[in-house]
């Protein structure tokens, strides 16, 4: 099974690395890092990833994984990822996104009229792009799976493992990763975080 992980400047590393650690360790999987050019790609916090293929070289894969970014609007304007999605999605078995990566799926026409989730701060923008926005952590709609913000990419990938290889494989993978989150604060969503923290976060995350 070929899984293509899309890379683009300013993407959020955990959006990709979380699903990668879940999926790339499955014995049937060959992982590919795909970008507009073969040049290294710098993530938003400075991590550098090296593509293994370009969008022109790899136009088909069984699974597509599109990470998000705080600079998602720049990725929309650039258009390289969305152009690749328009070519690769029709023949993919599964198309997935993490966080604001859903805006790239939407711009490519994949989420029009479909339920999808994204980072809580970008729900209105995703709706404006034609998706039926849900607040769930993971949304499965046919062959398309979207995940909410950043860490939800691990949940998305475990969901995909269960759909492809069954619940026992997904449970085994979760156990090996020791994915048993118990965060020290109840501040992981706008519904549970203190109001002043939510207000500050909205201001920080607002597109400039």
Catalytic residue annotation: 99
Length of the chain equals: 208
Give yes or no for a contact between 153 and 18, defined as CB atoms under 8 angstroms apart. yes
Strand partners, 156: none
* Residues 6 or more apart whose Cβ sits within 8 Å of residue 59: 84, 87, 88
* Residues 6 or more apart whose Cβ sits within 8 Å of residue 101: 6, 15, 66, 67, 68, 69, 72, 146
Token readout for 31 is 């992982």
Token readout for 100 is 């604001």
């Amino acid at each position: 099974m070929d899984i293509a992980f899309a890379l683009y400047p300013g993407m959020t590393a955990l959006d990709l690395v979380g699903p990668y650690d879940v999926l790339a360790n499955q014995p049937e999987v060959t992982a590919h890092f795909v970008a507009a050019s073969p040049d290294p790609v710098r993530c938003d916090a400075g991590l550098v990833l090296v593509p293994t293929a370009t969008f022109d070289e790899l136009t088909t894969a069984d699974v597509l994984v599109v990470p998000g970014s705080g600079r998602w609007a720049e990725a929309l304007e650039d258009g390289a990822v969305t152009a690749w999605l328009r070519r690769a999605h029709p023949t993919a078995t599964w198309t997935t996104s993490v966080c604001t990566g859903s805006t790239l799926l939407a711009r490519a026409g994949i989420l029009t009229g479909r339920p999808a989730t994204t980072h809580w701060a970008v729900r209105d923008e995703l709706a404006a792009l034609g998706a039926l926005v849900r607040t769930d952590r993971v949304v499965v709609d046919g062959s398309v799976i979207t995940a909410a913000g950043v860490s939800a990419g691990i949940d998305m990938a475990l969901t995909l493992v269960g759909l492809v290889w069954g619940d026992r494989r997904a449970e085994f993978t979760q156990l090996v990763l020791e994915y048993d989150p118990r965060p020290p604060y109840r501040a992981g969503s706008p519904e549970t975080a203190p109001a002043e923290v939510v207000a500050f976060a909205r201001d920080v995350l607002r597109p400039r």
